[in-house]
Amino acid sequence: MTEQRKKITLPYLFDKVARGEPITWLTCYDFPTAYLQEQAGIEMILVGDSLGMTMLGYDSTLPVKMEDMIRHAQAVRRGAPTAFVIGDMPYMTYQDSTDNAIRNAGRFMSEAGCDAIKLEGGAAMAPRIRGIVDAGIPAIGHLGLTPQSVSALGGFKLQGKSAELAKKIVDDAKALEKAGAFAILLELVPDRLCKLITEKAENCIIMSLGSGPDAHGQLLIYHDMFGLYPKFKPKMAKVYGNAGEVILNGLKNYHDEVIGKKFPEKENYFGMNDDEYDELRKLVG
């Protein structure tokens, strides 16, 4: 950005949709990355529970706690003061009751300064969405591949391939919109299903993650974009720069230079005045 932008708000996002302008959305988990995303003009930032895998090294998102999410969301908020920051509700912080869902959603707003929250699930989670929205907290739904339910879904794979399964996702989207979700993320569903849901949405922003170009905007996982997650590279990710390779090569060079006594060089450390050093030698004996 060439100049400080105004705070991104819900009316701003809906105005973009009305003008047919796609919305940009990325995951982020830390201050320096948030700062860079802010400078790049990214409009929405998701502090995703994917940090369990990308930042904490778990094999899934399930071990992530609210305390993890709050800490990372606070850092992102400090780095991106004008972005629309969304806190991702971790596993079992909303499924068990609406009261618990409202309480944890409120923590994102009060403790981390988030602008909205996101939770996974279809019609069964509509009461949670309604309770959160009625409490004055903007909420985003998440359908298709929902990582917290990946075991029940049979793994990380395309959802809604058959007409029957796709119809259920359409119905779930309607239920979430009716419950008050201002946006729905469609992850890894067929492109024509995403287009159909987008066309049918009346007052809801539809975002795509690996679900084609016809949504109101796109989400990518930051670590997938730059080769920073070593375990796998999903098909839906486009690599915009292999930062992981650059960092690895830099680490290897540092290792070799220290071992070979090439680092540090004179410009990498500080000297001491001869007179002061002579006096020091006298003092220490």
Q: Which helix (H) or strand (E) holds 186?
A: strand 183-187
The CA distance from 162 to 200, in Å, is 19
The CA distance from 14 to 205, in Å, is 7
Instruction: Tell me the one-letter amino acid at 64.
Output: V
202 is catalytic: no
Contact of 24 with 123, CB cutoff 8 Å:
no
Contact of 35 with 78, CB cutoff 8 Å:
no
**Short-list 140, 106, 107, CA closest to 125:** 140
In a 3-state reduction of DSSP, which class is residue 85?
Answer: strand
The CA distance from 194 to 233, in Å, is 22
**Short-list 48, 29, 37, 47, CA closest to 81:** 37
Taking CB atoms within 8 Å and a gap of at least 24, the contacts of 151-156 are 156/188, 156/234
Q: Which residues contact 233 (CB under 8 A, 6 or more apart)?
A: 224, 227, 239
Tell me which of 187, 257, 276, 279 is the catalytic residue: 187
Active site residues: 187
